[in-house]
Every structure is written in C-alpha cells, then in structure tokens.
Amino acid sequence: MGMKTSVTPKVSFKTQMLQAREEAIIHMVNRLLAEKGFEAMTVDEVAAGVGIAKASLYKHFPSKEDLACAAMVYLMRRAQVFLAELPQEPPPLEKLQMVVRWTMELKLAGEMPSLPSQNSSLRATLIASKDYMNGLIEVSDVLGGWIEAAQAEGTISPGIPAIVVLYTLFARACDPVLEFLKMGGQHDDKQIVDLVMATCFQGLNAR
C-alpha cells in the first residue's frame, strides 16, 4: 500500500509475511469454527494450530469475536468471488442451484464456519463490521435478483416471498441433515448433496 514499494521491497515483504500469517490464522479459525462452533473453539487452540503464541494472536485480532468475524468476512469474500465467476448464460434457477450446491460442498468439506444464531456478543461484532455487512448485503442482493428473475420466469414458485426463498437457501449452509447423513455413512458426499438439493427445490411431496 506504500508509495515506495518498488524502492523498498523489504517493507512490502514484511507486509506480505504479516498478511500470510493472518491468512493462516483465518484459515485455522475457519476450520475450527466449522468443526466445533464458536463457543467450543478456544483461542489457545487457534494459536496452537497456527503455531504462534496466544499473545501474538491478540496483536492481530483484539478479541475472539474479531477472530470469528474475520473468518466470516473471508467466507463472504469467497462467496463474492464464486458469484462473480459464475457463467452468465444459465437461467437464474440454475445459478441459484449452483450456489447452494457450493455451500453444501463447503460444509461437507469442513470449511463452512458455523455460528451460534443466538450469541449476542458475536452478533454485535458482526453487525458492526462493515466488511462483513457489505459482503452479506452484496451476496444477498445478487441472490435476491436471481430469485426474482426465477420467479418471473416461473421456475421458482412466485407465491413464496423472495426473502423466504433467500433464507431457505442460506439455511442449507448449516443444514443438520447434511451432517446426519454423513454420519450415517450410507451415502457419499455427492449423493448427500443431490438428496438435499432435491428436497430443497422439489419438496418432499410427490409430483
């Protein structure tokens, strides 16, 4: 970010090292959040996982909540990148399905951070985070546009409020059905995703 990067590569290098370390931290937090959730994750674990002292962690992130928030911001960025890289041709319904499929695969791969929907201190941090909120809003806007387009096309039921469709799609990212089926061991990941996709979009009722 400095204006002398070409003359003082050392500074840039140092910055890169720091950034790399922060990325390592965020990856670790992301994994632990996916594995055990916010409350069960401890800062000690994060530090040990990254291989640095806990005090050093606190130089990068002022609190446990900020750690989780950073992981959520990272997730939002990944989502934005995924949305941006989606091909434009497919009809909106198919793009929505690709997104849902992606989030489920992320969850099955143990990379989908799971937050307690209740924890107030964490919620406060998330809501106060401009990066997180902006990312969430942009993702919601893009998906919301596709939902309305799909409803206009008649591929998604126009009777359901778009916000309900949006929440229903988001909720697939933390659907316990995925874990239960994975625990059952009767299906592989692809089958699980297909099954949940089918129940989500086609419903349980016969057609």
Residues making contact with its own copies (CB under 8 A)? 35-37, 39-40, 93, 116-119, 151, 154-161, 163-165, 167-169, 171, 174-177, 179-181, 184, 186, 195-196, 198-207
Q: Is the dihedral of CA 186, 189, 190, 194 positive or negative?
A: positive
**Of 163, 170, 145, 137, whose CA–CA distance to 88 is shortest?**
145
Considering the complex, what minimum distance in angstroms separates the CB of residue 138 from its own copies?
18
122 binds DNA (CB under 7 A): no
Let me know: does 114 contact 33? Beta carbons within 8 Å: yes
21 binds DNA (CB under 7 A): yes
Q: Which of 26, 32, 34, 41 binds DNA (CB under 7 A)?
A: 41
123 binds DNA (CB under 7 A): no
59 binds, among DNA, its own copies, none (CB under 5 to 8 A by kind): DNA
191 binds DNA (CB under 7 A): no
21 CB neighbour count, 10 Å cutoff: 16
The C-alpha atoms of residue 117 and residue 95 are separated, in whole angstroms, by 27
Query: Binding string, 54-93, against DNA, x = CB under 7 A?
Result: xxx-xxx-xxxx----------------------------
**Of 49, 181, 14, 58, whose CA–CA distance to 108 is shortest?**
181
The C-alpha atoms of residue 132 and residue 197 are separated, in whole angstroms, by 27
- 89 phi, psi to nearest 5 deg: -65, -45
Nearer Cβ to DNA (14/187): 14
Write out the residues near DNA by the rule CB under 7 A: 18, 21, 41-44, 51-56, 58-60, 62-65
